Amino acid sequence: MVDVKLLGFSFSPFAHRVIWALKFKGITYEYIEEDSKNKSQLLLQSNPVYKKVPVLIHGGKAIAESSVILEYIEETWPENPLLPKDNHERALARFWIKFGEDSIVSTLFLRPTEDEQERARAMKKAQETLTIMEEEGLGHKKFFGGNNIGMVDIVYGCLGHWLEGWEEIVGMKTIEASKFPGLHAWIQNFKQVPVIKENLPDYGKLLLHLERRRQEFII
């Protein structure tokens, strides 16, 4: 009997973090698709604070918030580790996870605006964030954790596909190969890892979903 359930949404980058982690660990789970316009009782009961996916339910006990779920998965199924063994290196990984949590959505997914000044300000902030990620976080490594993909890469996973799609929709490009060669290469490397490649939403359908989100932003 499967005692691991994941409440997710096909186009949620946060739900995908959990999907990828479970796949890396080789955990069998039941996936339950949620409808954001008509949330299930299970979701509302399992995550009363945010009422959002992803929620992991293991042995009947629920956990919300993707970064919290990732730590739980790592502790519960230590095989194929996603965090370094060394305490200091693990702290550095958590620093970059927190940096990603605090900055990716708020600074990189630019809100469409007609205001030139606001647009320039947002673009400048995005470039500053990307410079920190590239120079301080990624450095000259293949993945944030080194040669192997890890939890930081999973958290930054939405820079590929979701950010690419969003930038196509809003017509603004931040991660250009000439400006951020490291991050640009990282996105390609990340998407070529089999577990990631096999568990990405269909790009065309994702674009359609993001287009609807854009319309909600500007209405």
The site for its own copies (CB under 8 A) is made up of: 48-49, 58, 61, 63-65, 67-69, 71-72, 75-76, 87-88, 90-92, 94-95, 98-99, 132, 136
Q: How far is the CB of 165 from its own copies (least distance, A)?
A: 25
Q: How far is the CB of 191 from its own copies (least distance, A)?
A: 26
Q: Which is nearer to its own copies, 63 or 196 (CB)?
A: 63
Q: Which is nearer to its own copies, 77 or 169 (CB)?
A: 77
Phi first, then psi, for residue 90 (nearest 5°) are -65, -40
Q: Which residue has the tokens 């640009």?
A: 184
Q: Which is nearer to its own copies, 94 or 214 (CB)?
A: 94
- Give the count of beta carbons closer than 10 Å to the beta carbon of residue 141: 12
Q: How far is the CB of 199 from its own copies (least distance, A)?
A: 23
Distances, alpha carbon 5 to alpha carbons 60, 204, 216, in Å: 9, 27, 30
How far out from the chain centre does Cα 71 lie? 14
Name the CA dihedral angle for 18, 20, 24, 27, rounded to a multiple of 10 degrees.
Answer: 50
Q: Which is nearer to its own copies, 76 or 113 (CB)?
A: 76
Rounded-to-integer distance, Cα 199 and Cα 72, Å: 21
In this structure, what token pair is assigned to residue 207? 């674009």
Q: How far is the CB of 205 from its own copies (least distance, A)?
A: 30
Q: How far is the CB of 52 from its own copies (least distance, A)?
A: 12
Phi first, then psi, for residue 6 (nearest 5°) are -125, 120
Rounded-to-integer distance, Cα 164 and Cα 174, Å: 9
Q: Which is nearer to its own copies, 73 or 170 (CB)?
A: 73
Name the CA dihedral angle for 135, 136, 139, 142, rounded to a multiple of 10 degrees.
Answer: -120
Q: How far is the CB of 135 from its own copies (least distance, A)?
A: 9
Q: Which is nearer to its own copies, 37 or 88 (CB)?
A: 88
